Amino acid sequence: MTARGALGALAGAVLIGSMFLNWYSPGEALDILEMFEDEADRELPVSAGDLNVTAWEAFRTVDLLLLLSGLAAIGAGLSLALRRGLARRQGVRRDLAGVLIAAGLLAGALIIYRWIDLPLEPLVGTLTPQVGLFIGLAAAIVMVVAGVLAFALARRGEPVAPSAEA
């Protein structure tokens, strides 16, 4: 089992998991909500948690592309890590590393695009990026790094461990 492939698969899983976290929150709307609660001296039926937006809620097509990128990274990473079947061949290992790199670059580009060009405009104020977006971006970067390391090793012609051939 190679660490590079396992790292790429783990990064793909983290990318998919990050899509369930908060990616955006309407910062100014939260301030206005707190102001109304203070003036009313009671809790309003809308909480701050109701205003946060996940990647699934914010995107129409980008979320599916991020999901496919994560699944591709998981598949390629596990194939590299376990080295079963075709993944024993040097050319196939190089191609699987290329899939990791491409999936990471696609995911990273989409996340940066949606960081710069926000997907939604709330009624009041602007959206503020939250932790899910940054975890997703970090996962995409790790996918690229794992793919580059695996590609370099496959290009060097790293031999397959004897235990994996049996």
Question: Which position has the token pair 């955006």?
Answer: 24
| pLDDT at residue 35 in the model | 64
pTM over 0.85: no
- Going residue by residue through the chain, which has 166 residues, state the pLDDT in tens, using 9 for 90 and above: 478 889 999 999 999 999 999 888 776 666 666 666 666 666 655 555 566 788 888 888 899 999 999 999 999 998 888 876 666 677 788 888 999 999 999 999 999 998 888 776 654 456 778 899 999 999 999 999 999 998 888 777 655 554 444 3
| pLDDT at residue 128 in the model | 76
CA distance 112 to 82: 32
Query: Could you tell me if 148 and 101 are in contact, meaning their C-beta atoms sit under 8 angstroms apart?
Result: yes
Residue 49: how many other CB atoms lie within 10 Å: 8
Query: Could you tell me if 80 and 96 are in contact, meaning their C-beta atoms sit under 8 angstroms apart?
Result: yes
CA distance 90 to 101: 17
Query: Could you tell me if 93 and 80 are in contact, meaning their C-beta atoms sit under 8 angstroms apart?
Result: yes
Question: Which position has the token pair 């996962």?
Answer: 139
| pLDDT at residue 88 in the model | 66
What are the residues facing 24 on neighbouring strands? 53, 129
